[in-house]
Amino acid sequence: MSGDDKTLAPPTVTIAGGALLEERASRKFSIDDERDPREGFILRYAGELRAFENRCPHWQVDLDLGMGEPYLDDLQKIFCRNHAAIFDPLTGVCESGPCLGRSIRRYPIRIEGEDLIVTLEAMNEGDDLV
Ligand code: FES
């Protein structure tokens, strides 16, 4: 192995005030990847903070069709406006719809003061960061 091996840290997004998100509230953010610009969203549910990609796992489109928030508090679920599919707000697993059993991409997060730092690296099954 050469001494030139370098591991690049995955990019992050800082969401100012994100750690202060209220219960059952969500907020979208931009992922400025020039090869694949897209959105994510943070969500607090049952006291837990989560960060997800705003993209369905079975059809690469925004869950909210660009019309608001992917989390619907009336349902207490993440919701796909394309197919009325619903996803668990803590795990991102599809509970009903064409991608049943598959998960929205979830990102690791960490809290720094009032801010939330989202690492743009997909979590593995069973990971439980924050
Ligand atoms: S786009 Fe996949 S459930 Fe709607």
Q: Check residue 12 and give its pLDDT.
A: 95
**If one looks up domain 12-119 in CATH, what number appears?**
2.102.10.10
Q: Which atom of ligand 1 is nearest to the CA of 85?
A: 3
How confident is the model over 26-59, as pLDDT tens digits? 999 999 988 889 999 999 999 999 999 999 988 8
Residue 69 pLDDT class (50, 70, 90 cuts) = confident
How confident is the model over 90-99, as pLDDT tens digits? 999 999 999 9
Q: Check residue 27 and give its pLDDT.
A: 96
Report whether pLDDT(22) > 50. yes
Report whether pLDDT(128) > 70. no
Task: Look up residue 94 and give its amino acid.
Answer: C
Q: Check residue 8 and give its pLDDT.
A: 78
Map residue 42 onto helix, strand or coil: strand
**Distances from the Cα of 108 to the Cαs of 52, 77, 129, in angstroms?**
9, 20, 6
7-21 mean pLDDT = 92
- What are the boundaries of each domain within the chain? 12-119
Q: Which atom of ligand 1 is nearest to the CA of 80?
A: 4
Ligand 1: which of 59, 65, 102 to mutate, judged by most atoms within 8 Å of the beta carbon?
A: 59
Determine the distance separating the centroid of ligand 1 and the alpha carbon of 17, expressed in angstroms.
30
Give me the sheet containing 77-80, strands edge to edge: 71-72, 77-80, 85-87, 94-96
Residues with CB under 6 A from ligand 1: 56, 58-59, 61, 80, 82-83, 85, 97-99
Mean pLDDT of the chain: 89
